[in-house]
Amino acid sequence: MRRLRTVWVALTSLVVAFLAVFLDQWSKSWAIANLVEKESKPLVGDFFSLRLIFNSGAAFSLGENATWIFTVISAAVVVAVLWLLVTGKVQSFWIGIILGFIVGGAIGNLLDRLELIDRGLPKHGVGHGHVIDFLDYNGWFVGNVADIWVVLGVIFLAGYMLAVGDRPKEEDKGKEKLHKQSDSVSNNATHAGSTNVHEDTADATIDHEPHE
């Protein structure tokens, strides 16, 4: 039963990750085809606009000029999540879905850094590719759909952990229930034994009463 659940949780997570990667890569292809590099197109005033840039750093254009470090980190995240899923460490469908968001976002940007998708852009070498960013948040930072998946995944994971952190585990509840049942059986057996002793004593008293 546990093995079957492991398979279904892993498949659910991988489907979510696939959809996340697909939407990210499609949106990046759209941005390259329809936007001019560094030219801003306001959507919600100056607060949110479209502005195409090629980022060598981390999410939201942070940490530029350290591309290989973020490539290694992204690859490590993907491998770690896949290991958790394959080895059955994750048994919750909700956690599986959340991890799907995170690993999908990580893979989306990892594909850019490894330059595995040919979009006719200048090559910088495997592991040093630039991530395609085009979502400008009031000039504070520029991100992409993959970044959104990662951030949502982290937020959902934190919320889930807070929501279920105080709940007893199913295993603990099962042990507690079994313990209560065992105590109940033991008490019933003790009560029954005590009743039989009283009945035997009463019978013995009646048998030994003098007859007139």
Residue 115's pLDDT is 84
Residue 184's pLDDT is 60
- The list of the chain residues with pLDDT below 50 reads 197, 202, 204-206, 208, 211-212
- Of 24, 112, 136, 147, the catalytic one is 147
Residue 197's pLDDT is 45
Annotated active-site residue 147? The verdict is yes
Return all residues near 14 (Cβ < 8 A) that are at least 6 apart: 85, 100
Return all residues near 71 (Cβ < 8 A) that are at least 6 apart: 110, 113, 114, 127, 128
Annotated active-site residue 172? The verdict is no
Residue 187's pLDDT is 58
Residue 159's pLDDT is 93
Q: How far apart are CA 209 and CA 212, in angstroms?
A: 10
Cβ proximity of 25 and 117 under 8 Å? yes
Is the pTM higher than 0.75? The answer reads no
Residue 206's pLDDT is 46
Sheet of 48-55: strand order equals 40-44, 48-55, 131-137, 141-143
Chain length of the chain? 212
Residue 57's pLDDT is 62
Residue 190's pLDDT is 52
The C-alpha angle with vertex 159 and arms to 158 and 162, in degrees rounded to 5, equals 85
- Of 24, 112, 133, 136, the catalytic one is 133
